[in-house]
Amino acid sequence: MTIAPEQDRLNAQIAFAIEIDKLKRVIRRNNLMDDSRRENDAEHSWYVALLAMVLGEHAPPGTDIQRVVAMLLVHDLVEIDAGDTFIYDPVAVAAQEAAEKAAADRIFAMLPAPQGQELRALWDEFEERATPEAVFAKALDRFAPILANHHNEGGTWRLHAVTASQVMQKVKIIEEGSPSLGAYARELVELSVTRGHLAP
């Protein structure tokens, strides 16, 4: 029996759809804002993509917000293989790039060309932060955990003895993508220190 090319294409797309469902199983370090449980990667990706739509006016002028949304929807797919990297763990961060690139090679190749190449290009763009869209996307990716930790009284920060100076390093990434969101994040960090939810 001969399988039509369009059926091969659909089969590949469905295989990819089944594979990316695994993102729901990848548990992140951050807790939800109500501190009831830890967040999973799929929830995080949805959340930051929606933040891009809601906070798009804080992006640099001319930023293509729909491209930012697409980037954020694919940015963590590699964690299906590589797992979530705790950004305050220097050993884990050092191993992150190679593990995630290998994951990207496998996961995006599941899709038919050029579709897989297009999604891989979005992922590469996010990682390289060479465009206004990627810089803003990365800013939102860093903003969300700060917002969550502020609202759950220090959550991950308290659990892992993270300091304000460590968090402020991440705020710099937010400021690069959006000065207004960076200033807001800086205020949250300072307020968290004042309230005793983050070590100075």
CATH number at residue 64: 1.10.3210.10
Nearest-angstrom CA–CA distance, 129 and 63: 13
Q: Determine, yes or no, domain membership for 1.
A: no
- Residue 190 — φ and ψ, nearest 5°? -65, -40
**Domains in the chain, number:** 1
Q: Determine, yes or no, domain membership for 42.
A: yes
- Residue 31 — φ and ψ, nearest 5°? -90, 160
pLDDT at 114: 93
The closest alpha carbon to 29, from 120, 167, 159, belongs to 159
pLDDT at 23: 98
Q: Determine, yes or no, domain membership for 200.
A: no
Q: Determine, yes or no, domain membership for 180.
A: yes
State whether residue 14 is helix, strand or coil: helix
Nearest-angstrom CA–CA distance, 75 and 121: 11
Tokens of 77: 């797919």
Q: Is the peptide bond before 179 cis (omega within 30 degrees of 0)?
A: no
Rg (CA), the chain: 18
The closest alpha carbon to 19, from 27, 28, 11, belongs to 11
- The DSSP H or E segment spanning 117 is helix 115-128
DSSP structural state of residue 56: G
Structural domain range at position 186:
7-194
Report the chain (200 residues): mean pLDDT per 10 consecutive residues.
74 97 96 93 98 98 98 98 92 92 98 96 97 98 97 94 96 98 98 96
pLDDT at 1: 47
Q: Determine, yes or no, domain membership for 127.
A: yes
Tokens of 14: 């469905």
Q: Determine, yes or no, domain membership for 2.
A: no
